[in-house]
Amino acid sequence: MNNTLHNGLKILDFLATKADALSIKEIAEHFQLPNSHICRLLKSLAEIGYAEQLPGSRKYRISLKILNLANARLKKENLLNVSRPYLHQLAEKLNAAVFVTRLYCGYSLIIGTEAPPFFTETSNMIIGTLHSPTSSACGKVCIAYSPEEVRQTLLNEIDWSEAGDFQGRRKDFEEELILIRQRGYALRDIPCRVGAVGVPLFEADGILNGALGVMLPPQRQRTDELWQNVIEMTLSCGKLISSAQGASLEEYPNYNISARRKK
């Protein structure tokens, strides 16, 4: 990739992670590049509208115009268009927030959400959120059903010393991935906090292209009966969405992932 283009995109990535606008010096120090080079890139990004300079300041932030790119892409996203009516029905039946994610380099990326009226626990359901492969139900589904070479690459990239659900326990996590493929779904259940179910979504030829997730509010009492109901309804919905994309009803969700092509 052209170095100028590469650096410009990296700057946008960096600005997107920051709540406040940043100075040219701050950005230059982060990337260890000359101030003059960063200044030229920011001015170019500002000219086309993807970065903006704060009035009366030399600080820059990412522009909301970036949302136009995401919106244009999502309008053409077949998985989202197919799943919308199913998401609405599932949210109503379970009285819970639901979301659909797209497989992105082995990760789970939220592309659509649905929630019943007055449902407030949606702070972790923002479109564009990239799930942790170890600390989210849909994240675990996507890594579990990815081809072996993709899965091993992701496992090697994870910093197992960092705090998380599987801190220092790679072997335990790999065993859970096997269990997820055997039963066809993933759970995340932290008392008084997170309650979520994730199931895989497939397109024709049993190729994984995302996941369907259900998030239960912390105040909902999560009994065995509730979990079973949520799991069964989420699996049923995942089956319908996958079928609508051309996947085999008979095989869902137990496809032979070792024979699947790399996404």
Is 72 contained in some domain? no
With a cut of 60, say whether residue 256 has pLDDT above it. Answer: no
| pLDDT tens figures, 133-150 | 998 999 999 999 988 898
Query: From CA 133, how far away is CA 104, in angstroms rounded?
Result: 11
Query: From CA 88, how far away is CA 8, in angstroms rounded?
Result: 39
- Looking at the fold, whether 137 and 45 belong to one and the same domain comes out as no
Q: In 58-146, which ranges are E strands?
A: 59-62, 97-104, 107-114
Is 178 contained in some domain? yes
- Looking at the fold, whether 32 and 128 belong to one and the same domain comes out as no
- Looking at the fold, whether 153 and 250 belong to one and the same domain comes out as yes
| pLDDT tens figures, 155-169 | 999 999 988 889 999
Containing domain of residue 23, as a range?
3-67
| Residues 141 and 198 sit within 8 Å (Cβ to Cβ) | yes
Residue finishing a domain among 67, 98, 118: 67
What pLDDT does 1 receive?
Answer: 52
- Predicted structure pTM score: 0.83
| pLDDT tens figures, 67-124 | 888 888 888 899 999 999 999 999 999 989 999 999 998 899 999 999 887 666 555 6
User: Is the bond into 253 cis (omega within 30 degrees of 0)?
Assistant: yes
Residue finishing a domain among 67, 89, 115: 67
